[in-house]
Amino acid sequence: MKQKRMKLNSSAVSHFTLSAYVDTGPWRYFFFLIVLCLYVLIVLSNVLLVAVICVNRSLHEPMYLFLCSLFVNELYGSTGLFPFLLLHILSDSHTVAAPLCFLQIFCVYTYGSVQFTNLAVMSYDRYVAVCRPLQYNSHLTLHNVALLIAVVWFPPFVAVFVTTALTSSLRLCGNVINKVYCDNHSVVKLSCHEATVNNVYELLAASPTVCLPVTVIFFSYIKILKVCFSGSNQTRQKAVGTCSPHLASLLNFSFGVCFEVLQSRFDMSHFPNMLRVFLSLYFLTCQPLFNPLMYGLNMSKIRNKCKSLFLSSSSRFAQLE
């Protein structure tokens, strides 16, 4: 009878409580303003770069199309987090309906998977540009670029959809998530029984979404380093110039994901709550802001197009006045 009642209660979980939020009193408005400004800055910078790449035909090259995919994914991931975050900062009740929680899990995890796969494809693009420059146009045709972008988006969406479906079917014996957003691993830990199917599937899904991108990135940069060490100073300078923004973005995202994994899988209760919240949000908040600044400032073509866009806009306003 007791076991039957537990199953009945577990199937009745209709909402989750996010326990990482703390009562900050009047400071909540200050935090709300900071997060709102961060979100607006992320949206404006990413939309600007997507528009610049789409409008200018001279930027319709493989590298910039992959960048456009990256910026679109950052808009998608930010939209899956920030409105939710802003609402809960001002709210006194930090509960979320189960369907919305699983929707956010889907958005956050697809963002992370697409981001990592996109960075892997960009590393392959840099490998071809540095190691096989004469074959660049024949390797990365418009058709092949479209296929690679489809690979960036489609498999992660399928893999995460199955993960979310498996998690949503679990019988749960609790509804408290110690985070400021819904997290798949946290929900699985609330399962009444051992989630063997989920764990096995996560291991299988890690192959196309983690292991394969890591392999592509590793071998691409091994080949690039070989060319750098065996080539001339001009070759090394070109390799550093073309790879440094991508490498910085890759390291920033990898560190953010490592922070999130560490604080999710290990007991970090002895750390301050604000630090744990920051570590869990780093790859979701700093990466979408870091990439537009990194690529916008370092890539001369994008920088020049942005300058010309601002100059033409200011001249139009001057004429209207």
The DSSP secondary-structure symbol of 210 reads I
2-12 per-position pLDDT tens digit:
444 344 344 45
Q: Report the candidate in 50, 54, 40, 44 with the shortest Cα–Cα distance to residue 71.
A: 50
Chain centroid, CA 289 distance in Å = 11
Which pLDDT value is given to residue 10?
42
Query: Would the pLDDT of 53 be above 50?
Result: yes
pLDDT-wise least confident of 18-22, 31-35, 97-101, 311-315:
311-315
Mean predicted confidence (pLDDT) in 87-103: 89
Cβ 89 vs Cβ 31: under 8 Å? yes
Residue 318 has pLDDT above 90, yes or no: no
Return mean pLDDT, the chain: 83
At residue 276, the pLDDT reads 79
Neighbours of 151 (CB within 10 A): 16
Q: How far apart, in whole angstroms, are the C-alpha atoms of residue 282 and residue 289?
A: 11
Alpha carbon 86 to its chain's center:
19
Amino acid 309: pLDDT: 65
Start-to-end Cα distance in the chain: 79
pLDDT in the model for residue 271: 72
Quote the pLDDT of residue 2.
41
Q: Are strands 15-18 and 176-177 parallel, antiparallel or unpaired?
A: parallel
Q: What is the pLDDT of residue 71?
A: 94
* Beta pairing partners, 167: none
Going by pLDDT thresholds of 50, 70 and 90, the confidence category of residue 40 is very high
Q: Closest by alpha carbon to 14, among 94, 93, 98, 95?
A: 98
Per-residue pLDDT of 231-259, as tens digits, reads: 777 777 777 777 888 888 899 898 888 88
Sequence length of the chain is: 321
| pLDDT value of position 321 | 52
pLDDT score at 312? 62
Looking at mean pLDDT, say which of 8-22, 73-87, 129-143 comes out highest: 73-87
pLDDT tens figures, 107-135:
999 999 999 999 999 999 999 988 888 88
Q: What angle do CA 5, 179, 119 make, to 5 degrees?
A: 120
Sign of the CA dihedral with 196 first, then 199, 203, and 209 last:
positive
Position 105 confidence tier, pLDDT thresholds 50, 70, 90:
very high
The pLDDT value recorded for residue 311 is: 62
Of the pLDDT bands very low, low, confident and very high (cuts 50, 70, 90), residue 72 is very high
pLDDT at 319: 52
The pLDDT of residue 206: 73
Question: Nearest CA to 178 among 86, 266, 257?
Answer: 266
Over the stretch 306-315, which tens digit does the pLDDT of each residue have? 767 666 655 5
Model pLDDT for residues 266-281, shown as the tens digit of each residue: 767 677 777 778 888 8
pLDDT grade for 316, boundaries at 50, 70 and 90? low
CB 224 within 8 A of CB 130: yes
Those residues with Cβ within 8 angstroms of residue 132's Cβ, 6 or more apart along the chain or in another chain: 139
Residue 302 has pLDDT above 70, yes or no: yes
Domains, the chain: 13-289 (1.20.1070.10)
- What b/e readout covers 87-107, taking b as 16+ CB neighbours within 10 angstroms? ebbeeeebebebeebbbbbbb
Of 272, 278, 301, 259, nearest in space to 180 by CA: 278
Token pair, residue 72, equals 């679109």
User: pLDDT: is 11 or 208 the higher one?
Assistant: 208
Write down the pLDDT at residue 4: 41
Of 59, 71, 243, 69, the closest CA to residue 148 belongs to: 69
Amino acid at 163: T
* pLDDT tens digit sequence for 141-166: 999 999 999 999 999 999 999 999 99
Question: What contacts 10, CB < 8 A, 6 or more positions away?
Answer: 171, 172, 173, 192
